Structure 1
């Protein structure tokens, strides 16, 4: 048995990716886009991830799994674990938000006269996100629709989702969670218009006989917007999809997998109370086809409900829209089958 490297030598990108349950491409993409790479490179070229580097990545994984946009998650991860002092001595979340100013970008928005009281905390976001949030708080439906269309036209679906739409939705959701029943109407209005604009994105034609990607929420789960965004983004890349929406019963999910023979199944759970690991195991084990030539799908678990517990056999995790696309539909020729999960 060859000797193992001492812990101080660090891990390779592939080893880190296996440890986190993501693809090496995702780890490299985060390093390139969000400056969250290792501090040391062996021989000036090869990445070697120290325990401190890996801890930052693990924190980023947890945050993105909870629905935090990757750029915001990376800022928090670089500053340190939540509640721990960052480089400036402030808590990491405060450090990630940037220095205070008289009117910083993304300052909390006051509710309009006659509307719900309190503030809508956004943090450092794009101006388009602030405009969308203001329109939603005013219940100005035409302005919400206009700002969503403009963000998609200007930035494309992935950036618009990560940096404009998702931060606005999260801010409204956080306000609702801390303000009782107030702001529910704001969340419903914004969610309705986001869903509408996603449904209007026309998919590109798929190559003949391309197996689809099946997307569904677990039984009892009503939050669909993240997988609606993934459905639209896959369609833009010419990947056929079968979207079953909210709260698909378990028997119906099993039947849909057997009838469609999908290349991948994306199963969304927003809450730990709805994330059913037994259901996930059974879906991962579904096979179809002629006797002696059976096939199975790759199961991809998405959403914060699945938590950060031990990985289920024959499954993968999706940690945000961009990394999901890199795994399911990377740029290049039309996608073929995903690598099959090994069978015992």
Structure 2
């Protein structure tokens, strides 16, 4: 009998290395600015292992794991030089080049984010570190790249949700994180340049009910309205009832948006009184459409010509349907409006 030839063993394919990331992508993922990464590389030699043609930095999973450890240590108060030494000396604990890292806002100040965009995780990291310049830079980048509606939905609101959940489970801790992040979000929204208003177009009036201090969601709505050239008058937090009535009579708005974050501040009687305001000549009097926004309001409208707003996209659709066609310019966006709902 002829001998059956033995099949030589086939070499096992080597695992493909995970894709290396650019400095900008790593910065967004970890919540540090590209300038900070370059500074760490220059000062502490904690840089990428490779460069592409043209000297572009490319960060491997192992490089990112070192940076993640350094971010975690600095967030816990370790001086950068010591954090860098620890990160560079922790080679045995770092993943292999083929292993893809899963960066999270780690450390003792981790925020419960879930499945979100990498930009959201980076923003959370920077907020926990109280790194205001980086928070501002990341917010500007998200607004420029995605527009205010998507940036609110997929980057800003999830981070605000996470800070709120962390604060609720940690007593009075993390109040400073919420305040810093809220201030930076508000500042970034205010920097959005509004388009010129069409002449002789009634504005949309936006205000928080008396006693309500949470105004960020309607600040986002105001920014989007301005960007689209829809006239808006924003009165901010806790507008007194008498001032609200005077503002409605003086501006003759097409719509009034009233925000209430909690049931304790929502006032159905105030809503009915605003909906009943009229102006103009007898026989041709006008009154505003009243739009109630925020989780504080119930599901039922408390007055005629009153509608509930549940999200930024639907709110914009309602307001644009009330505005003259020539004022409703710009591309439609999408995303939730009330981070507290």
- 1:193 paired residue number: 184
- Residue pairs, 1:73-88, within 5 angstroms: none
Question: Among 266, 271, 295, which residue is 1:304 paired with?
Answer: 295
2:301·2:307 contact (CA, 8 Å) conserved in 1?
no
1:291 is paired with a residue of what secondary structure?
coil
Question: Among 147, 151, 166, which residue is 2:142 paired with?
Answer: 151
- 1:230 paired residue number: 221
* Distance in 2 (alpha carbons) for counterparts of 1:229 and 1:301: 15
Question: Among 229, 234, 251, which residue is 1:260 paired with?
Answer: 251
1:333 is paired with a residue of what secondary structure?
helix
2:326 is paired with a residue of what secondary structure?
coil
Deviation, 1:118, is 5.1
- 2:106 paired residue number: 110
* Distance in 2 (alpha carbons) for counterparts of 1:168 and 1:236: 23
- Residue pairs, 1:164-243, within 5 angstroms: 164-243=155-234
* Distance in 1 (alpha carbons) for counterparts of 2:216 and 2:149: 13
Count of equivalent residues = 229
* Distance in 2 (alpha carbons) for counterparts of 1:129 and 1:172: 12
* Distance in 1 (alpha carbons) for counterparts of 2:100 and 2:109: 17
2:218·2:259 contact (CA, 8 Å) conserved in 1?
yes
Deviation, 1:312, is 3.8
Deviation, 1:322, is 1.6
- 2:327 paired residue number: 334
Deviation, 1:147, is 0.3
* Distance in 1 (alpha carbons) for counterparts of 2:175 and 2:131: 15
Q: 1:235 to 1:170 in 2, by over 3 A?
A: same
Deviations 1:62-104 (A, max 9, x none): xxxxxxxxxxxxxxxxxxxxxxxxxxxxxxxxxxxxxxxx999
2:260·2:297 contact (CA, 8 Å) conserved in 1?
yes
* Distance in 2 (alpha carbons) for counterparts of 1:314 and 1:165: 32
- Residue pairs, 1:249-288, within 5 angstroms: 249-288=240-279
Q: 1:200 to 1:232 in 2, by over 3 A?
A: same
* Distance in 2 (alpha carbons) for counterparts of 1:238 and 1:125: 31
- Residue pairs, 1:308-323, within 5 angstroms: 308-309=299-300, 312-323=303-314
* Distance in 2 (alpha carbons) for counterparts of 1:275 and 1:167: 24
Q: Which runs of 5+ in 1 are unaligned?
A: 1-101, 112-116, 337-344
Aligned-pair RMSD on alpha carbons? 2.1
4+ aligned runs moved over 3 Å, structure 1: 102-107, 309-312, 330-333
Deviations 1:244-264 (A, max 9, x none): 000001111011000100000
- 1:160 paired residue number: 151
Q: 1:310 to 1:235 in 2, by over 3 A?
A: closer
* Distance in 2 (alpha carbons) for counterparts of 1:245 and 1:291: 32
* Distance in 2 (alpha carbons) for counterparts of 1:211 and 1:265: 11
Larger radius of gyration, structure 1 or 2? 2
Deviation, 1:308, is 2.7
Deviations 1:29-78 (A, max 9, x none): xxxxxxxxxxxxxxxxxxxxxxxxxxxxxxxxxxxxxxxxxxxxxxxxxx
1:119 is paired with a residue of what secondary structure?
coil
- 1:5 paired residue number: none
Deviations 1:95-130 (A, max 9, x none): xxxxxxx999685x334xxxxx45310111111111
* Distance in 1 (alpha carbons) for counterparts of 2:282 and 2:168: 51
Task: Output the TM-score relative to the length of structure 1.
Answer: 0.63
* Distance in 2 (alpha carbons) for counterparts of 1:222 and 1:183: 18
1:234·1:240 contact (CA, 8 Å) conserved in 2?
yes
* Distance in 2 (alpha carbons) for counterparts of 1:223 and 1:103: 39
- Residue pairs, 1:6-85, within 5 angstroms: none
